Each structure stands twice: as C-alpha cells, then as structure tokens.
Structure 1
Amino acid sequence: MTQVLAVAPVLPAHRYSQSQLTDALVPIIGVDAPGERMLRRIHGGCEVDYRHLALPLERYAALSDFGQTNDAFIEAAVELGALALTNALREAGLTPQDVDLVVSVTITGLAVPSLEARIAERVGLRPDVVRLPIVGLGCMAGAAGTARLHDFLRGRPDGVAALISVELCSLTIQRGDDSGANLVASGLFGDGGGALIATGADHPSVPSSTGPRVLDSASRLYIGTAEAMGWDVGSTGLRIVLGAEVPDLVRDNVGDDVAAFLARNGLTIADVGWWVCHPGGPKVIDSLAETLGLPHAALELTSRSLREVGNLSSASVLHILRAALDRSPEPGTSGLMMAMGPGFSLELVLLEAR
C-alpha cells in the first residue's frame, strides 16, 4: 500500500476579497455597462469570499499578451511549487535527496523545461530523479497525480514520490472577453498550490507515519463530452471552455461510477467517512451531493475551501485533504478523493485513515 507522509498546501501572499477583485476586473476585462452588471451578478453568486493571486492586483492591468502572462506564470509557479515541496519534505522528515519520483501537475501555464525540472534544480533533487509532468487534466489532476504516485510506488515499494500542483488561474483571465465562461472563471478561480509526499509499503518511514494509505484509484472518461470543459488556445493565451452542462454531467454520471468503484473495494457510499471533493462551483457541489445522496454537511470542507480561497483547479483537493486530515479522521475509516476535469472525466482515489 502507498503511504502518504505529508500534505502541504500553499497560497500566494496576495489576498483579496471578492468585492475588491470584482471592482478591479471590470476595467481589466473591459466590459460595457450591461456586461459589468452581469459580471457583478455572476461574481456574487460564486459563493467565494476571498482569493489569493500570484501577483499584486495592480500588476494585472499591464499584462497585455500571452507571452507576458506565461512568463509571470513560470516565475511565480516555480517559487510557489518549490515552497510547497520544501514544506512537504520537512513535514515528512525527508530531504530532497530522498525523492525518487516527482510529478508536477498544472493547467494554467506552459513551461519547457517543465515545472518539476525547474523546481528540482531549485530545491536540490537528485540528478537521477524520475520526472513526470502532467498537463491537460485540469481540475482533476491533483487526484490523478496522487493516483500516479500510487501506481509508481506499487512497483517501487521502497521508494519516495512527490506530487507538486501549482495553478495560477488569475493569469488566464481574458481581456475584452465578455463571454459567460470568462466571467464565471474570473469570479470562481483562485491561485494556489500544494505538494504531497508518499512512500511505498516497504519504506522505513511507514511504521511511524500517521498519514492515510492509498488503497485504490480509478479513472473514467465520458465519451462525447470533450466540449464541456477545457481551453481554447490562441494568440491571447488560454481561453476557458466551461459548459453549462457540467453540473448535469456530474449529476447523471458520477454517482454510479463512485458506487461501482467503492463496490470493487467492498464498500458503499455510506461507508465513506470523509470526503475530499474538488469544489467545481456551487452548482457542481449541489450536483455532487445529489448524485451521491449526501447531506451538504458531508461536503462542508469542499464548500469552505471554495468560500475561503476559490476553486484552485488541481490544487484544491490537496488543500481539502489537508483540512480533512487536520480533523484526525478515526483510524480505519475510508476517505474518498475525487475530482472532475476536461474530457469530461473523473478521477477517484480511495484512502484509509491511520
């Protein structure tokens, strides 16, 4: 079994209220008077109180093209990712030289060499560390990255693996775009990151760890839903595709697939003691509660994360996992990490508290 030793969420230092961000984005996006009324209505309905930004708010107006925003992404993402990895290794009682595999996940910028290569040099990972950059899984990449660590460590039971997630969603907001998707994204998404350290079952750190075990994982791709979520990539950068059908896709598909995944592990939805669910947005959270047959209280950590920092794309599940573990779930209880992403797709990770 894979053993999680540490989970370290991080946030940029620049924190703003939703009302501050709304006021600042009106001229940046460049909406007219009806567009401003729509933007304020959408932002008010996102159920987000605060968000963190990669840059000071006043710097965004000067970012005029994709090259500038992507340069800002690389600089800030390496800084935030290195901090997350350093904090996670310290929590795990390990050094950078102990890491055998490092996985990086992001969807909000492009970097070649990839983020984990730049971070490896910054923090001092070994020259022979195995690197796996994952780009394109969107909001579900934090869960998928955890699952890929589990896959690696089943074949390397004495190994150490690290996951780094960095998402700087603020750097993808489109100027001069008053589409519903851009207005929703500008009110829903925040910036943040995190790191997770895990070991294989034969690593010496396992007996002393109090972190959860990873027991199983599963992926699900829903055919014919490619247009529901993703990016249109053009001269202005990454323009979000966010279909109104996403809550319905969750409601119509996720419950059955979660039940089937749990059943293969001898469990039912009622057996899950703690939930680590990505906060897609208020309507997605409502759809999750409905399709899983859960009271909203079961997804309270998800709703709280959305309210306090916004949707952090792939990093959200790491923040929510940390919050769940801080509540010290009863040893032996099952937890389920789950997130949806472009495709439309679903990633599931079964956890067990220690």
Structure 2
Amino acid sequence: MNRIVAVTGVVPPHRYRQSEVADALATALRLPPDGSRAVLDRVHASAGVDTRHLVLPLADYAGLSGFGQANDAFIAAALDLGEQAVRAALAQSALAPDSIDLVISTSVTGIAAPSLEARLAGRLGLRPDIRRLPVFGLGCAAGAAGLARLDDFLAGRPDGVALLLSTELCSLTLQRSDGSPANLVAGALFGDGAGALLAVGPEHPAHGRSAGPSVVAARSRLYPGTEHQLGWDIVDSGFRIVLGGELPSLVGLHVGEEVEGFLAAHDLKPADIGAWICHPGGPKVLDAIGEALGLPPSALELSRRSLASVGNLSSASVLHILRDTLALRPPPAGSYGLMLALGPGFASELVLLRW
C-alpha cells in the first residue's frame, strides 16, 4: 500500500477574533444596528469559530474593487502560502523536490492559468517533466479526493513520489454587497490556509522510514438531485456562494449510510475507526455526521478544534486535521482512520487509512 510520508498545514499571518470579522463584515454590508446586524451576530456566534487567519489585513478588503483585483491577490498570496506548505512537507519527509513525479493542486477560491503548481515549479525546484493535475470544482471535498487520486497514480508507480497541494483563500471570495443568509454563513465559517501532503509507493525507500498511514481504499459518491445545495454562482463580482439549508439533513440521510457501506466492504464498522479526519463543514454538519454514525464526541474533537481555531479552510481542512491527528493523537500501529469530506455535487469523498 502507498504511504503518506509528510503532511503540513499553514495559515497566513493576519489572525482575527470572530467578533472582529463580524464587525468588519457588518460595515462592508452596511448592515443597520437592528435586526440585520442581530442576525449576523447570531450566525457568527453559532458557527463554532473563535479565530481565523486571513490573507489580507481586514482593512485591505475594502480596497478590492472587483473580481480581477481579488483574483490577482489570490494568485500572489496562494503562491507564497503554497510554497511554504510544500517546503515544510519536503523538509518533514527529507525528500528532494526533483524526486516528485506528480503534483495535484486543488483550489476552489481563485483561478490561475498557468495553474498554481506550474507557477511554483521553478520556485520549488520541481522537475520540468513533472506530471501536473490542477483541480477546480470539487470544493471542500478536494483534499480527500486529491489524496485518493495520488493513490491511484502510485498504484501504477510503486517507486514513485506524489504531492498534493491545497490552497484556499476563502476570504477573497466574500461578496461585500450580498446580505443573503448563505453569504452571512460563509462570512462566519470560512478562513484562509494551505496544506501539502507527500505520499510514496511501496517500493520507495521512504516508505519504510515513515510512521505515516497507508492508503487502503477510497470511494467517491455523487448524490443525484442535490446539485443546487452547494457550489458557486459566478457573478460579475466573482464567486457567490450557494449554500442550501438542507445540507445537514442530506448529510444525515446519505453520508452515514455511505460510510457504513464503504467500511463494511472492508469488514469494518464505525466503531473500528480509531481516527476520524472529517472536514469541518460547520457545527450542524459535524453534528449530523456524528449522529448518523453513532460517534462519541471525542471522535470529531479535532475537526471541531480546527474549525474553532482557523475556520473552514475548504479543501485544505482535512490536511490540517490529518496533521493534527499525527501530532496530537497518533493512532497505534494497525489502527484504521477515515478521511471524510463533502463538496459540490452534492458529493462525498472517503479515504480509508491504516497505521
């Protein structure tokens, strides 16, 4: 089985309390100090977020006049954060940049052509013949899906090295003239950050040196008829979030059954999973996952902790939570873990891990 040999998570330097972000958003939306501001405060208070890191100082967001400026800011900052994340993963694994055979880069918060990993190749020292796969559109599910696609590649390259880079600058997508409930929720949940993961095939020398988990199997699933629940509407000012109110109930209806079926195919039950690396879509989504699978509160504690400290980082969140799992609660040898993330489609991505 292919093995994860490094995983890192980085955030930008500008850190704010949830109340500071709420004040800035209320000013940007010109909300009167009546019912509208009260609704915003309730949304921020119930989001499960204490602090977030933003790629720009709060005061600078007012100077972004449109999608073009916001996307220029995305490219510049994403390159810096992405480089930090990859260099940290290379240092952790002791692998050389020119040993990497494939890089998958994921983001759903900005557009770049050439893509981010192409722009980073020279800065990082990647080989000119490296295989590249930039991914857009999987949203929060792309971190788990990216790991699954790394595993697919390494199945045919047992001595190979593959890199996953996730860079999400969610704050740059916020619509400052949109007072809709979906935009208020997004303004309360999402933060900025990046993550990187390196994996090697079973014949690579680093495979035996790493204490990281191996990838056992993965599964992708689309749930027909739910396309309107999650995604982007592309408008003149950029990405306008689509966030359906039925999401938590859909998670309870579909995802619990999907996880149980996936585990059963490997003669496992939820109680056999020692590490849950669940994307923190929000408190209600985490509650729905826990209830559907009958999990104890401790199972999703690291997901809630990540949500509280940095917010929802879209596809980068599962990499941050896997990093925290390895650092704070490394499972004993032989234990299983499950990476679970949800994204537009509406879709789920599952990756079964074993230490």
TM-score tier (shorter):
over 0.9
**Cα distance in 1, alignment partners of residues 112 and 12 from structure 2:** 19
CA contact (8 A) 2:25 2:176 kept: no
Q: Look up the match of 2:350.
A: 348
**Cα distance in 1, alignment partners of residues 185 and 263 from structure 2:** 33
Q: What does 1:139-150 align with in structure 2 at a 5 Å threshold?
A: 139-150=140-151
CA contact (8 A) 1:18 1:49 kept: yes
Q: Look up the match of 1:7.
A: 7
**Cα distance in 2, alignment partners of residues 175 and 255 from structure 1:** 36
1:68 aligned to 2:69? yes
Residue 296 of structure 1, CA deviation? 1.7
**Cα distance in 2, alignment partners of residues 243 and 131 from structure 1:** 33
TM-score normalized by structure 1?
Answer: 0.98
- Cα deviations by residue, 1:247-275 (Å, 9 ceiling, x for unpaired): 00100001111111111112111111110
Residue 32 of structure 1, CA deviation? 3.2
What percent identity do the matched residue pairs reach? Answer: 58
**Matched residue of 1:261: which SS?**
helix
Say what the alpha-carbon RMSD is for the aligned residues: 0.8
Residue 58 of structure 1, CA deviation? 1.3
**Cα distance in 1, alignment partners of residues 120 and 59 from structure 2:** 27
Q: Which range moves more in the overlay, 155-164 or 31-40?
A: 31-40
Residue 121 of structure 1, CA deviation? 2.0
Q: What does 1:103-118 align with in structure 2 at a 5 Å threshold?
A: 103-118=104-119
**Cα distance in 2, alignment partners of residues 116 and 223 from structure 1:** 32
**Cα distance in 2, alignment partners of residues 242 and 121 from structure 1:** 38
1:171 aligned to 2:172? yes
CA contact (8 A) 1:50 1:310 kept: yes
CA contact (8 A) 2:194 2:316 kept: yes
1:128 aligned to 2:133? no
**Matched residue of 2:205: which SS?**
coil
Q: Look up the match of 1:99.
A: 100
Q: Look up the match of 1:319.
A: 320
Q: What does 1:44-63 align with in structure 2 at a 5 Å threshold?
A: 44-63=45-64
Q: Look up the match of 1:19.
A: 19
Which AA in structure 2 matches 1:123?
L
**Cα distance in 2, alignment partners of residues 72 and 196 from structure 1:** 24
- Cα deviations by residue, 1:279-309 (Å, 9 ceiling, x for unpaired): 0001001000011111222110011111111
Residue 30 of structure 1, CA deviation? 2.7
Which AA in structure 1 matches 2:129?
D
Q: Which consecutive residues of structure 2, in runs of 5 or more, have no partner in the other structure?
A: none
TM-score normalized by structure 2?
Answer: 0.98
Residue 29 of structure 1, CA deviation? 2.5
**Cα distance in 2, alignment partners of residues 130 and 154 from structure 1:** 15
- Cα deviations by residue, 1:134-169 (Å, 9 ceiling, x for unpaired): 000000100000000000000111100000001000
CA contact (8 A) 1:50 1:309 kept: yes
Q: Look up the match of 2:162.
A: 161
1:207 aligned to 2:191? no
**Matched residue of 1:37: which SS?**
helix
Residue 56 of structure 1, CA deviation? 1.3
**Cα distance in 1, alignment partners of residues 285 and 139 from structure 2:** 15
**Cα distance in 2, alignment partners of residues 173 and 121 from structure 1:** 31
Residue 4 of structure 1, CA deviation? 0.4
Q: Look up the match of 1:332.
A: 334
Residue 35 of structure 1, CA deviation? 2.0
- Cα deviations by residue, 1:294-328 (Å, 9 ceiling, x for unpaired): 12221100111111110000000000001111122
1:79 aligned to 2:80? yes
CA contact (8 A) 1:30 1:175 kept: no
**Cα distance in 2, alignment partners of residues 152 and 29 from structure 1:** 45
Q: What does 1:188-199 align with in structure 2 at a 5 Å threshold?
A: 188-199=189-200
Q: Look up the match of 1:249.
A: 250
**Matched residue of 1:279: which SS?**
coil
Residue 104 of structure 1, CA deviation? 0.2
Which AA in structure 2 matches 1:121?
G
**Matched residue of 2:90: which SS?**
helix
CA contact (8 A) 2:229 2:246 kept: yes
**Matched residue of 1:273: which SS?**
strand
- Cα deviations by residue, 1:21-75 (Å, 9 ceiling, x for unpaired): 1111111223334322211111111110000001111111111200010000000
**Cα distance in 2, alignment partners of residues 159 and 212 from structure 1:** 17
**Cα distance in 2, alignment partners of residues 153 and 79 from structure 1:** 28
Q: Look up the match of 2:222.
A: 221
Q: Look up the match of 1:240.
A: 241
Which AA in structure 1 matches 2:335?
T
**Cα distance in 1, alignment partners of residues 321 and 61 from structure 2:** 28
Which AA in structure 2 matches 1:55?
L
**Matched residue of 2:239: which SS?**
strand
**Matched residue of 2:227: which SS?**
coil
**Matched residue of 2:49: which SS?**
coil
CA contact (8 A) 1:46 1:188 kept: yes
**Cα distance in 2, alignment partners of residues 22 and 222 from structure 1:** 34
Residue 277 of structure 1, CA deviation? 0.2
